[in-house]
A and B are shown apart, each in its own frame.
Chain A
Amino acid sequence: MSEAKIERKIDRSHMTVTDEVAIQITAMNKWFGTFHVLRDINLTVNRGERIVIAGPSGSGKSTLIRCINRLEEHQSGQIIVDGTELTSDLKNIDKVRSEVGMVFQHFNLFPHLTILENLTLAPIWVRKVPKKEADEVAMYYLEKVKIPEQALKYPGQLSGGQQQRVAIARSLCMKPRIMLFDEPTSALDPEMIKEVLDTMIELAEEGMTMICVTHEMGFAQAVANRVIFMDQGQIVEQNEPYEFFNNPQSERTKLFLSQILGH
C-alpha cells in the first residue's frame, strides 16, 4: 500500500457542497451470477462532494462506481444520476455516460489514436462539436494536466502517469458534471502517483463532484469531504475524513485502517 504525502496547500474556496442531489442510489443490489456482490446500497451524493471509497479488495467498491455509469447493471433498487434513472433504456444510459466522466486503473486510452484524437473523439462524435473547437478544448485540458507537448504522440509513447493524466483530460473534454475514479493510481509507479493525485486535487479545488475508489489515504484526508468504507458488498461505515481516520467506529474499519496505516 503506497501512501503519497500531500504536501501542497489546498485551496478550499471553491470546494463547496451544495444541497442539489447529483447521485441518488436507493436499496440497490447486484449479483454476479449467484454471488451477491452489492447488498442494499443507499447513497446520496450532493453536487460538489468529494467522496473516497475505501475497503479491502473484493468488497465491491469498484463495482459500485461502475454501476453509476452502468458499466455494470444492477438488478434491483434505483440509481438516479443527474435526474436520469438508469434502466435498460439505452438513450438514458448514453445520456448519463456523456455527463459522467470515468478514469480507470489501467487508463484505457485508445492506443491507435494520438493523444489529441483520444481527447477529441467523444466531443466530436457524441457532442457534435466542430473539430476545430474540439481541438482547442482538448489543448486547454492538456495544458491543465501539464502535457500539451505530447498532443501528437501515441499513448504507448507516454509514461503511466502521463497516460493517466491524459485519461483524466479525456474525460474532462466532455465537460462532465461528475467524475468517477476507479483506483486511478494503483497501476502506477510510486513517483508517478503524485502527479496524478495533483491533477485530481486541482479538479477538486474547482468544485468537481468526485467519487474516488482509492487506497491513497493521504488524498482522502486532504481532499475528501466524506470517506465510505465498504466490506463484503456493503457500506460499513461513512464519516468525514478526520473522524473516519481518528475515530473509526466499526471493528472492521479499525482492522482495515490498522492494516493499511499501521506501518
Chain B
Amino acid sequence: MAEHRTAAFVRTEMLPEKAPPVSEVGIIRWLRENLFSGPLNTVLTFMGLFIIYFMIKEYSPWLRHSVWNAASVGECRDIVTAKYGEGATGACWAIIRDRWNMFMFGFYPRELYWRPTLALGLLIFAAAPVLFSESRMIRMWVLGVVSVFLMVAFPGLGVPNGDTALLAVLLVAMLAAAWARPWALLWLTAIYPGLAVWMLWGGSVWGPTLAMAGFVIGWAAWLATRRLGTILSVGAAVLVPVLWWLFGIAPVQAFLDAGLPFAIEGVRSEKFGGFVLALTIGVAGIALSLPMGVVLALARRSDMLLVKALAVGFIEFIRGVPLISLLFVASLLLNYFLPPGTNFDIILRVIIMVTMFAAAYIAEVVRGGLAALPRGQYEAADSLGLDYWKAQRLIILPQALKISIPGIVSTFIGLFKDTTLVVFVGLLDPLKGITDSVRASFEWKGAYWEPYIFVGCIFFIFNFSMSRYSMYLERRLHRDHE
C-alpha cells in the first residue's frame, strides 16, 4: 500500500463563476429531463404524442364541422351532410345559440335578465377590496374586465340605452373608488348580501334591508351587553337578531311598505334556473360555509367537552350522509317541522343544506391547518397575554387558513359543482335540469354532447378561476426565505 501523504494546501485565488455546459441549459436540457430522460420515458413520450394525435384526428372533424345557424338538430344534420358528405358528423352549436338564455337564466323573466347579470358584476366589485386588496394592477384588471362585460351585456340583454348610461356612470364611480380608495368599496361589500337578494328576487326593498338590519341589531345587542360578561353578550348578539328575523321583520315591513312603498318586480324561486341558480347557491354557500367551517374547526379543538362533542357530532353526521339526502330533507322533511303556512323558500333551504355540508368539510380542512401549526405559536401568543380569541384571530387562524387554502378551495369547487344536485329536489340546475328541459322540445331532441360541453366549459371557467386565485393567494401570502 503506497503511503498517502497529505500536502498542505492554501488557495490563493478564489475561482470565478463559469457558465454551465450547453447540455445543462435551455430547451435541450428541458427536453432531456422531461421527455427523454430514459428508455421508458422516451417510449411513454411517443405513446403520449400518438394518443394526442389520435384524439385530434378523431374529434377535430366533429368540431371543424360545427354548425351555428340552424333551427333544429335535424337541420344541423342536414347541413353537415350537405357540406361534408354522407356519414360526416358535426357539432350542432345552434342549440346553444338558440337556447343560451335557458342555460344562463332558466325561466327567469327575459326582460329582467339584467338584474342577475348586474348582481354577478357587483359581486366581483364587492369582493375586490377583500380578494384583491394588495395589488392595484390586478384589481383594476379584474374590475375592468367585469365592467366591459357589463357594458357589452346590458345592451345585448335589451336594456334601454338610458339605463346602460346610468350603469356606465355607476361603473366609473366604482372603478375610481377601486383605484384610489379600495376600502370605500367595503360599503358595497357590507350591503351586497341584501342588495343581491333584492336584485335576484325583487319585491319590496324593505325585506332585504330589514333582514340585513338584523346584523346591526345583533352588533348593537353585543355592545349593550358587553359589560355583563362574554357568555351573556354573545348570547344576546345571537338571540336578539334571531328574534328580530322571526318576529320583528314582518310587522315593521308591513308598516314601511304601507308608508314608503318601494318595490321592483318580484321573481319567484321556481323561475330560477341554469347558472343563475347555480351561482346563487354556490356563492351563498361559499360565503357562508367558510366562517361556519372555521367556527366548527375551533369548536372541535375546544377544551370544553360539550362544545367539542357538538362539533364532532355535527361534522361527522353531515360528512357521513350524502348531500342528496340532505337536499331531500331540505325539500320534503323540513316542511313537516315548520309551523304550517311558513313560507320557507326552497332555494334558501337548499343554501342552508349546502352550506352545512361544505362547512363540515371545511372544518376538517381547517382543523388540519390548525394541527399543522407548531405548538410554539400558541405558546408565544399565550405568553404575550393574548386571550383565546385574539390569539386565534391574530396569530393562529391567519397561519392555519393559509396552510388550508388548497383544501378550502377544493371544497369550494366541489360545492359549486354539487349545486347541480339540486335537480333532485326539482330545481333546474344547468347540467341536467335545463339540458333536459331544452331537449324536451321537439327541435333539440337528440342533441347530447353540445349542451354538456357548453355547461362543462362554463363550470370550468368559474372553477379554474377559483383555482388560479387560490394559487395567487398562496404566492401572495408566502413568507419564508426569499
A, B bound: yes
Contact B386 A125 (CB under 8 A): yes
Contact B387 A71 (CB under 8 A): no
Residue in B383, B387, B390, B394 whose beta carbon sits within 8 Å of that of A69 in the complex: B383
Check if B24 is an interface residue, CB within 8 A of chain A. Answer: no
Q: Which residue of chain A has the shortest Cβ distance to B377 in the bound complex? A: A108
What string of 1s and 0s marks CB contacts (under 8 Å) between B308-350 and chain A?
A: 0000000000000000000000000000000000000000000
Interface size class of B (residues with CB under 8 A): 20 to 34
Q: How far is the CB of B120 from chain A (nearest CB, A)?
A: 32
Question: Given the complex of chains A and B, what is the CA–CA distance between A106 and B390 in angstroms?
Answer: 22
Residues of A with C-beta under 8 A to B398: 112
Residue in A90, A95, A121, A156 whose beta carbon sits within 8 Å of that of B384 in the complex: A121
Check if B380 is an interface residue, CB within 8 A of chain A. Answer: yes
Contact B379 A112 (CB under 8 A): no
Residues of A with C-beta under 8 A to B402: 112
Given contacts A108-B380, A109-B380, contact A122 B479 (CB under 8 A): no
Contact B383 A102 (CB under 8 A): yes
Q: How far is the CB of A233 from chain B (nearest CB, A)?
A: 21
Check if A170 is an interface residue, CB within 8 A of chain B. Answer: yes
Q: How far is the CB of A18 from chain B (nearest CB, A)?
A: 24
Query: How many CB-defined contacts (below 8 Å) exist between A and B?
Result: 71
Contact A125 B379 (CB under 8 A): no
Q: Which residue of chain B has the shortest Cβ distance to A110 in the bound complex? A: B395
Contact A94 B385 (CB under 8 A): yes
Q: Which residue of chain B has the shortest Cβ distance to A72 in the bound complex? A: B379
Residues of B with C-beta under 8 A to A110: 377, 380-381, 395, 399
Residues of A with C-beta under 8 A to B395: 110, 121
What string of 1s and 0s marks CB contacts (under 8 Å) between A103-129 and chain B?
A: 010111111100000000110011000
Contact B385 A111 (CB under 8 A): no
Contact B399 A112 (CB under 8 A): yes
Check if A84 is an interface residue, CB within 8 A of chain B. Answer: no
Contact A157 B386 (CB under 8 A): no
Question: Given the complex of chains A and B, what is the CA–CA distance between A111 and B482 in angstroms?
Answer: 13
Check if A23 is an interface residue, CB within 8 A of chain B. Answer: no
Check if A235 is an interface residue, CB within 8 A of chain B. Answer: no
Contact A111 B480 (CB under 8 A): yes
Q: How far is the CB of B374 from chain A (nearest CB, A)?
A: 8
Question: Given the complex of chains A and B, what is the CA–CA distance between A108 and B376 in angstroms?
Answer: 5
Check if A154 is an interface residue, CB within 8 A of chain B. Answer: yes
Contact B385 A122 (CB under 8 A): yes
Check if B5 is an interface residue, CB within 8 A of chain A. Answer: no
Contact B376 A94 (CB under 8 A): no
Residue in A69, A104, A156 whose beta carbon sits within 8 Å of that of B376 in the complex: A104
Q: Which of B366-388 contact A (CB under 8 A)?
A: 374, 376-377, 379-387
Check if A98 is an interface residue, CB within 8 A of chain B. Answer: yes
Contact B376 A157 (CB under 8 A): no
Residues of B with C-beta under 8 A to A104: 376, 379-380
Contact B379 A126 (CB under 8 A): no
Check if A174 is an interface residue, CB within 8 A of chain B. Answer: yes
Check if A97 is an interface residue, CB within 8 A of chain B. Answer: yes
Contact B376 A106 (CB under 8 A): yes
Contact A121 B394 (CB under 8 A): yes
Q: Which of B377, B384, B398 has the most CB of A within 10 A?
A: B384
Interchain residue pairs A-B with the least CB separation, the first 4: A98-B385, A108-B380, A108-B376, A122-B384
Listed by A's residue number, 30 A-B pairs whose Cβ atoms lie within 8 Å are: A71-B379, A71-B382, A71-B383, A94-B387, A95-B385, A97-B384, A98-B385, A101-B383, A102-B379, A104-B379, A104-B380, A106-B376, A108-B374, A108-B377, A108-B379, A110-B377, A111-B479, A111-B480, A112-B398, A112-B479, A121-B384, A121-B386, A121-B394, A125-B394, A126-B386, A126-B390, A154-B479, A156-B479, A171-B383, A174-B385
